[in-house]
Chain A
């Protein structure tokens, strides 16, 4: 299967700071999604981004498929951004491989 590595594993930020989360993957993919897992366990879709750049409010993401990595940018972080961020990739159309996540804590 595809190996997915996320960095950093843990991140502590002051409210208002910016951050960059990275996802490296070992093979070409046709699906890449970023998720935020809330405290109750649900995975919330942030971006579907197998290539290119997208922005949604304070969040943006970039995937460079040819170099096999994706970046998630969080600007002006808020305490509600705390949680675990997962990158998931797929190259078969029906099986996600997940990274181990980045645990983000935003302190007021």
Chain B
């Protein structure tokens, strides 16, 4: 079974631009979560989607948004990029019911200049 995939793997953007990151979960997994990793703040939860609905959201400004499609693929969008948004963005998927073990993708490394 293929793992979680994320595209693109690397991205360079300029302040003020917006960016969209994509995540395809493991086949059959319906829950997708997003995390931001920075050297200063560590790994922080952004949001979680299940069946196209956002079930939980972390403490991030409204510039960070996401959505999930009917095939469970998810996208996150960051508008009006700031230098502090430079980070590794990780996506995780998990099955529903039974063991809620999460599996992470390789991440998207975003650099804002």
B45 and A43 contact, CB distance less than 8 A: no
A40: chain B residues within 8 A (beta carbon): 106-107
Q: For chain B, what secondary structure do more than half of its interface residues adopt (helix, strand, loop), or is it mixed?
A: strand
A42 and B107 contact, CB distance less than 8 A: yes
B105 and A42 contact, CB distance less than 8 A: yes
A19 on interface, CB distance cutoff 8 Å = no
Q: How many residues of B contact A (CB 8 A)?
A: 26
Q: How far is the CB of B36 from chain A (nearest CB, A)?
A: 11
Query: B104 touches which one: A31, A42, A97, A100 (CB < 8 A)?
Result: A42
A42: chain B residues within 8 A (beta carbon): 104-107
Q: How far is the CB of A17 from chain B (nearest CB, A)?
A: 27
Contact with B along A34-70 (1 / 0, CB 8 A): 0100001111010010000000000000000000000
Q: How far is the CB of A63 from chain B (nearest CB, A)?
A: 14
A95 on interface, CB distance cutoff 8 Å = yes
Contact with B along A7-44 (1 / 0, CB 8 A): 00000000000000000000000110101000011110
A86 on interface, CB distance cutoff 8 Å = yes
16 pairs, A vs B, C-beta closer than 8 Å: A31-B100, A41-B37, A41-B90, A42-B104, A45-B103, A45-B104, A48-B99, A88-B43, A95-B33, A95-B56, A96-B33, A96-B43, A98-B35, A98-B43, A98-B44, A100-B42
